[in-house]
């Protein structure tokens, strides 16, 4: 049994419409509120890359509105909060790994039984430093939008 021609035409029209809307959304032709909402939802899901991408799409074709500026501030504060947490943890690790020579921790670090733990802490410190660099790049990507002239 062959489906009716009108059914196939409706399905084909629906697929073309869906594909067209996806392309319009992808290239920033939808209303600004669409991208702001998507950016805030991405931030709720803890996806900073997607939040910044949607924010940039929201100001790609239109001038920044109050809503888009507030969204940028929310994203920026989320990044700043994460950077502050990472900096505090790095300071803790720095105090453990490189204490003053007159402290008890310095002499404990010299013991052979603590070498494995110190190596794990060094690796953790390197991971946090890399995470901080990534967050700083995201912050710069978010702030670069203010310096670029707006499109038509």
User: Does 62 or 29 have the greater pLDDT score?
Assistant: 62
Phi and psi at residue 79, in whole multiples of 5°?
-65, -45
CB 55 within 8 A of CB 72: yes
- Domain boundaries defined on the chain: 25-144
Read off the pLDDT of residues 95-113 as tens digits, 9 standing for 90 and up.
Answer: 888 888 787 777 777 788 8
With tokens 């991405």, the residue in question is 42
Res 135 pLDDT > 50:
yes
Confidence of residue 58 (pLDDT cuts 50, 70, 90): confident
Q: pTM for the whole thing?
A: 0.71
**Helix (H) and strand (E) counts for the chain?**
6, 0
Phi and psi at residue 103, in whole multiples of 5°?
-90, 160
């Amino acid at each position: 049994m062959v489906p009716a021609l009108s059914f196939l035409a409706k399905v084909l029209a629906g697929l073309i419409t869906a594909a067209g809307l996806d392309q319009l959304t992808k290239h920033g032709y939808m209303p600004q509120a669409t991208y702001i909402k998507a950016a805030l939802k991405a931030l709720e899901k803890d996806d900073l890359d997607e939040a910044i991408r949607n924010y940039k799409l929201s100001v790609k074709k239109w001038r920044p509105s109050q809503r888009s500026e507030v969204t940028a501030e929310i994203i920026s504060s989320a990044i700043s909060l994460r950077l502050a947490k990472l900096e505090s943890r790095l300071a803790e690790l720095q105090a453990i790994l490189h204490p003053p020579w007159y402290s008890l921790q310095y002499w404990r670090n010299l013991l052979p039984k603590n070498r494995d733990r110190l190596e794990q802490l060094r690796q953790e410190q390197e991971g946090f430093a890399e995470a901080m660099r990534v967050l700083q790049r995201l912050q710069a990507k978010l702030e670069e939008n203010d310096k670029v002239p707006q499109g038509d």
